[in-house]
With several copies, the nearest count.
Chain A
Amino acid sequence: MDLLKKSLSNAINNILRNKLINFLCLGIISFTLLTLGIFNYISYNLEIFTHNFSKNIEAIFYFKNDVKEKEIKAQISKIRKSLLVDEVIYKSRDEAETSFLSQFPELKYILTEFDKSPFPSSIEIKFKQEESNLTTKIISFIEDIEGSDIIESKQVNIDWAKKVLYIKKFISITGIFLSGILFFVSVFIIYNVIKLNIIYRKEEINILQLVGATDWYIKFPFIIEGALMGLLGGIIAGILLIILIKLIPSYSDFIINILKDIISLKKIPLKILIRLLFFGTIIGLISSLFSLKKFFKK
């Protein structure tokens, strides 16, 4: 406990002492975490999106003409039992005719030619929204009902739902993949920065070892420092993420339209590549001149 307290204060002191290197490290960590965060954000919103989507799934099943009332009743009560279902509305053949007429009264003369309502009886199912993973379940539920031999046809906005599900799956898989890669990249980077810190303090570590410090005594501040840097990086990344996401939507249409126009072209002129090299060199030159200037001042 005491060691933790001391290590924490040591770590903070060290971060403050080597401001420069830790500033760089923090920048890198923040950037990596920001990328991770953006990805997470996309995944999350897609989840909401697909969830919201299930809200809109309504299925209408039309029964075959020769189906008995009893069979229909049985089917309906079976459907009602499902936890997925919010509401089931049954429309008999006559009700279907009535509702048709209320919408198109001028077409009444057509219906007079039939002695029985020409519309099939139907049930309209509205699904609940609470459950997670709803869409997949709904899809299999609908396919289940469709298999029943009293159903003539169905009308459902399921294709879109399926597509979104596929996208979600795709995003999840690439997400896990990408997160994995990014995770290793950030570990690699922080690993190197902390190694740099260790090399920077090699002399000190050596002395500590020679006067009888345990390995853990020496390691602890570095570990705390690593964790602290990671935490700070996370905080910065979080703030950046919030800012980014609050900003983007205001420009979203503009950005998307431009992206669309530009992505379709794929010529990189040599000019740009040469300019990159030129700029790189110039930036390097200016920077080194500046940093030298400060060092060589009296």
Chain B
Amino acid sequence: MIGFYHVYKQYVKESYAIYDINLSIEKGEFYFLTGASGAGKTTLLKLIYKEELPTKGQILIDSVNINLIPRKKLYKLRRKIGIVFQDFKLLYNRTVYENIAIPLVVRGYRKSYIDKMVKNSLSLVGLNHRKNYITSHISGGEQQRVAIARAIAGNPIIIIADEPTGNLDTELSIEILKIFEKINNNGITVLIATHDNNLIRMFSKKTIELKQGKLISSPTKEKQQWIY
């Protein structure tokens, strides 16, 4: 599904945010991505949806080398991936409904279908009662759930979530992760960056761990080494 081959990322000279990463993420699986603050989790995710370009190395998604995707076709990649951003990236002056509908509107779906999908996502994250609130008028945790609902709404084949429970209490975190599990059961690949070791322990999924940009543990490490 996702393959990293000797991927490096340098934002500034002499310092690597991502260093020689080889990684294979398999279709339909559920992964945690963990590591200390500044380890490179967000950077790794950004490389997947091509918000950042690798300094060196190749990244394959769905058998496509994303380095070779021209910017005109980039939207095709992005439509495959549902993203929950660490900083939410919501339109705070629009309603909750409008925010969740964006990926669907952008795909040109019919109003009635959009309505249905948004309602679905909203009830999954338990925010039906906030549907028509302006997004700046809801609490931090509620905003985070709106971000999750938006990522789910577009029917992606991969879901990437960057600290999706950072603003949620333990119970809600577990509930949200159960939602991700449910989505995963439908065959969607899930990759969640988190620093919450309790959650990782509780759900015992495959875990990828970064340390200062380097991969220090990965469920498919042996396989990786076999490739090269």
Contact = CB atoms under 8 A, between A and B. Distances in A.
A and B touch in the complex (CB under 8 A): yes
Interface of A: 2-3, 203-204, 206-215, 217, 296, 298
Interface string B100-136: 0011001110000000000000000000000000000
A209 B51 CA distance: 10
B94 to A, nearest CB: 9
18 contacts: A206-B89, A207-B91, A208-B102, A210-B49, A210-B51, A210-B83, A210-B85, A210-B89, A211-B78, A211-B103, A211-B150, A212-B79, A212-B107, A213-B106, A214-B75, A215-B71, A215-B75, A217-B106
Contacts of A298: 71
A212 B154 contact: yes
A207 B108 contact: no
A211 B71 contact: no
Residue among A2, A204, A209, A211 with max Cβ neighbours from chain B (10 Å): A211
A2 B111 CA distance: 12
Nearest to A297: B71
Interface of B: 49, 51, 71-72, 74-76, 78-79, 83, 85, 89-91, 102-103, 106-108, 150, 154
A239 B76 CA distance: 47
Can you list the 8 inter-chain pairs with the closest CB atoms, starting with the nearest? A212-B79, A212-B78, A213-B106, A211-B103, A212-B75, A214-B75, A207-B89, A298-B71
SS of A interface (majority): helix
Nearest to A215: B72
Contacts of B89: 203, 206-207, 210
A212 B106 contact: yes
A204 B91 contact: yes
Contact of A209 (B78, B85, B108): B78
A203 B51 CA distance: 14
Nearest to A211: B103
Contacts of B74: 209
Nearest to B82: A211
Contact of B102 (A3, A203, A211, A215): A211
A209 B72 CA distance: 11
A8 B79 CA distance: 25
A209 B102 CA distance: 11
A203 to B, nearest CB: 8
Contact of A207 (B76, B79, B102): B102
A213 B71 contact: no
Contacts of B76: 212
Contacts of A206: 89
A2 B49 CA distance: 29
A204 B105 CA distance: 14
